[in-house]
Amino acid sequence: MGAANVGPEFTIFEYEALEELCANEDDLYKENKIACRSNYKKILEEAVIKSGRWKKWLNGDEKDFDSLNRQRRQWIIKTRAVTCGQNQRSGVHSISYIEI
């Protein structure tokens, strides 16, 4: 075998680390130790959805992102987001994750 796509597996770990950081950020915000939240997770999810490239991973009875159950939505976000730079073409601004 010459190559393998291991991106989704690593992306899950990256996303779970991001979730932990966001939870820590929420705690700091509640304790008035930071002035505002980054909303990074929401921004990442919106970037993945906006890209539309996740649609190739829909199963037969799934029509769009809103039709997915919570577990499927979460899987798509976790496996379709990878570290990369800003993407001017897709309109994603100032985040370091976008969907592949």
Cβ count near 22 (within 10 Å): 17
31, pLDDT greater than 70: yes
Whether 82 is in a domain gets the answer yes
Return d(Cα 57, Cα 74) in angstroms, integer: 13
Overall domain count for the chain: 1
Question: Is residue 1 assigned to a domain?
Answer: no
Q: What confidence tens digit (pLDDT) does each residue in 47-94 have?
A: 888 888 888 889 888 989 999 999 999 888 888 765 433 444 554 444
Structure token pair of residue 74: 């979460």
Does the pLDDT of residue 36 top 70, yes or no?
yes
In this predicted structure, the answer to whether residue 20 has a pLDDT above a threshold of 50 is yes
Instruction: Look at residues 11, 33, 14, 15 and name the one whose alpha carbon lies nearest to residue 24.
Output: 33
Give the mean pLDDT of the chain: 78
In a domain? residue 53 = yes
Q: What's the mean pLDDT in 6-30?
A: 86
Mean pLDDT of 8-26: 86
Domain annotation covers residue 2: no
Q: Which domain holds residue 56?
A: 7-99
**98, β-bridge pairs:** 82
